[in-house]
A and B are shown apart, each in its own frame.
Chain A
Amino acid sequence: MNMDHLHRRDIFRIIGGTLAAEALDAQHQHPAASSGGAPKDYRPRFFSETEYQAVSELCELLIPADDSPGARDAGVPWYIDTVLLYSDASRQTNWRHNLKAIDQAAQTQFGKTFVNCPPEHRVKIMEMLAKNEGDPQTPLEQFFADFKPTTIEAFSLSEVAMKHYFGYRGNTELSDFPGCRPGEIEG
């Protein structure tokens, strides 16, 4: 636990324990927890560099940077590499195996590995993975059913997505809960 956090909680204990009245006048926000993101210049620990590039590209295709940050900006590839590092062997094998299968599909269709394909061909590969979402048939479609929720989780838990995409401040100490304010419901 970092000092920043300890300090924050101690402050709140004091406020909560002895100065409740004063606390009710002030809003206390948790400061952003240390970095709140993936380490800079991260080198993958579970994936090989090549696999990591492919995973990063798949994540970015699912949640692209457009007028707001995408999966890479949020640190999703780091998150997935870390999760896989601690996953059981069968899930690890499954991810490795399917990344290879994606490359093979790209080679067969477009004569290049997935990351070396031009964007429009990568989209085609992604369409193939997502084809029967909800009722996956092929092994690659089944892989998508693990890849997608993992990526959504990684994205939504990131500071970048919370604050700059969902518009959510979250984890915030409030002296009063405002609820729905006048004018916030249209019509």
Chain B
Amino acid sequence: MARQRFDVCIVGSGPGGGIAAYALANAGVKVALVEAGPRLRPGIDFNAHGSPYDHLESRLKAGRQTPVSSVFNDYAERNHFVPVGDKPGHGFLKALGGRSLCWAGHSLRFGPLDFEKWPISYEEVAPYYSRAERFMAVYGDRDGLSNMPDGEFQKPVPLRCGEEVLRRGTNRLKQQGRKVEFVRLRKAMPTEQHPIRKVPCHYCGHCMRGCEVDAKYTSANTPIPLALKTGNLNLFLESTMVRILMDKSGRRVTGIEYRKADGGTDVVECRVLVLACSAVETARHLLINKSREFPMGLANGSGQVGRNLSSHFGVTVVGLFPQIRKRDASNDDGTDYFHGLVTGLYWDQPSREFEGSYQIQCGSGVHPLDLSIRDVRGFGSNFKRQLRDVNTTHASLGMQGALLTSAGTFVDLDLVTRDANGLPLPQVHLHYTDNNVAMARDMVALSEEIIRAAGGTLYRKPKAVSPETLVIDYNHWVGTVRMGRDAKTSVINTDSQSHEIPNLFIGDASVFPSYPEKNPTLTNIALSWRMSERLAEKLRRGDV
């Protein structure tokens, strides 16, 4: 069994692990980055361009499930877990860059109010937000909103006509005194020249299928190549962590054992271990690695590992707007589907019906590769015309709210099912409360008001909002290794360092102590960058 020694071993190369590798390698730290998946080649291993008819047969032959290339559909390990009581479909994208390969790039800062339940303030994270936005090439408007602060933006991407009518409708409600804002979305893809991100976005709309020209920010195209350039980073691809190794005291990590593609196992020894495997997987690995010192799982004296799980959930409402029918739909692509955002809801005036806030992502346009509306009844010429008409004139409102954490939302281990390495799979427990249902009902009512104010008609909404109609976002998991000052109620301290194991750090979104309505990735990257700087300083001082 081969052993290699590094200062820091990072497990997971998604948004958090990628930026940690970059920040640490640049600080002169010798880093091993361990990734379970292979390197996927943009444009070759995923490529949604060209005629779907040209690719159909080769894709079917290769056993692909969808006619158009999609990095998540093609490469994710599906059904790694199915949340208890939920539908299948959840997966992990095991590849260099992780799920940064299939994200849509939404980059929204959490605001001062969102940090109120955190042990660190917005002001402490703000410099890292700025740095991350510059590094990633985030575009957006300076909107001057109180709880979604402006950042360092490249020029924004315009709204399509469908989102523009929703903007006008929302602004009419605002003029009538509603606390609501409509802004253009902020995303991580270059719209102007950029010193690092050389390939400009060409607005083809395939962001989540995987950006074949590598314009969209991913861990695989920016931080990891730059870290490799320093000579301080070693990549371990197709290497799956199977065990966390501890010293005799049982209270210090000495390295990890990992399974290679050929089936053998090797060891990476390290002074410090950074886990950045995602909120579900990081918790799973801590829970798997029980010991005499940590009978409830590694670093889990508090019993909080796996608890406080949250993700985003929502419902969708669609309106039809005949006034946009005659536009030139020749290019409705843009940067993925959503270009607009309804936000500013219940920030400083909480609802009396529910706790928390939500946002509404707004998208529109004819996208024949992925028709938004297929449920048109009938057949023949009428059906055919209607199919085009509803897809041309639709605009949709997609809710995103955070699942309220409760005793019923957590990750533990599946006692029955094991993975290829004989390790228990994670078991994810979701529990929708009345709060979630009340929030979704509010969203449906507001969306209907916006559609009316915009001069449209309602096309589709959930028949009745109930826990069964809520849809969980299977890429936005957070909260299972929460940050806090008190070792009794949290797992890591404000430096993202385990309270109990001083050389164990966490670099993914599992550290979030609470979750607002905003997308997690930018904050994950900012926090991981902050963690890495602090860790580099501790290593310099010999203080870890």
Residues of chain A at the chain B interface (Cβ within 8 Å): 1-2, 5, 9, 12-13, 16-17, 20-21, 23-24, 28, 30, 32-38, 61-64, 66, 68, 70, 75, 79, 82-83, 85-86, 123, 126, 130, 133-134, 148-149, 152-153, 156-159, 161-162, 165-181, 184-187
Contacts and interface: CB of A to CB of B under 8 A. Distances in A.
B199 A179 contact: no
B203 A30 contact: no
B510 to A, nearest CB: 35
B91 interface: no
Contacts of B48: 171
A9 B213 contact: yes
B379 A178 contact: no
Interface string B189-230: 000010000111011110000001101000000000000000
A178 B331 contact: yes
A24 B213 CA distance: 16
Nearest to B155: A176
Interface string B18-38: 000000000000000000000
A179 B155 CA distance: 13
Given A134-B375, A173-B204, A179-B334, 5 more contacts: A156-B368, A167-B328, A172-B331, A185-B164, A187-B323
Nearest to B190: A20
B74 interface: no
Contacts of A38: 53
Interface residues of B, number: 68
B64 to A, nearest CB: 9
Given A16-B213, A32-B51, A170-B333, A180 B193 contact: no
B202 A174 contact: yes
Contacts of B43: 9
Given A30-B49, A171-B49, A185 B161 contact: yes
Interface stretch (B93-101, B146-154, B263-271, B381-389): B381-389
Contact of B198 (A1, A17, A66): A17
A12 B211 CA distance: 13
Contacts of A126: 379-380
Given A165-B388, A179-B158, A186-B326, A34 B51 contact: yes
Q: Which of B44, B164, B384 has most chain A Cβ within 10 Å? A: B384
A85 to B, nearest CB: 8
Nearest to A168: B366
A174 to B, nearest CB: 5
Nearest to A148: B379
Nearest to A10: B43
A13 B56 CA distance: 25
B165 interface: yes
B384 A64 contact: yes
Contacts of B193: 20-21
B142 to A, nearest CB: 18
Contact of B330 (A167, A177, A187): A167
Contact of A61 (B161, B212, B328, B379): B379
A168 B330 contact: yes
A33 B333 contact: no
Contact of A86 (B50, B61, B392): B61
Given A64-B380, A170-B369, A178 B49 contact: no
Contacts of A2: 54
A168 B329 contact: yes
A170 B329 CA distance: 9
Interface string B166-207: 000000000000000000000000000100001110111100
Contact of A180 (B54, B327, B374): B327
B53 A75 contact: yes
A33 B54 contact: yes
A83 B60 CA distance: 7
Nearest to B206: A171
Contact of A33 (B44, B50, B61, B369): B50
A157 B380 contact: no
A159 B381 CA distance: 19
Contacts of B324: 180, 184-186
A33 B69 CA distance: 15
Contact of B203 (A63, A75, A153, A174): A174
A36 B198 contact: no
B165 A185 contact: yes
B321 to A, nearest CB: 8
Given A75-B53, A82-B60, A157 B368 contact: yes
B368 A161 contact: yes
A36 B49 CA distance: 12
Given A38-B53, A166-B368, A175 B323 contact: no
Contacts of A172: 203-204, 331, 333
B213 A180 contact: no
A35 B322 CA distance: 34
A179 B67 CA distance: 28
A17 B196 CA distance: 10
B331 A30 contact: no
30 contacts: A13-B213, A16-B213, A17-B198, A33-B49, A64-B380, A66-B381, A86-B60, A130-B377, A133-B378, A134-B377, A152-B371, A157-B52, A159-B51, A159-B53, A167-B330, A168-B366, A168-B367, A168-B368, A172-B333, A173-B204, A174-B203, A174-B204, A177-B331, A177-B334, A179-B159, A180-B164, A185-B165, A186-B322, A186-B325, A187-B455
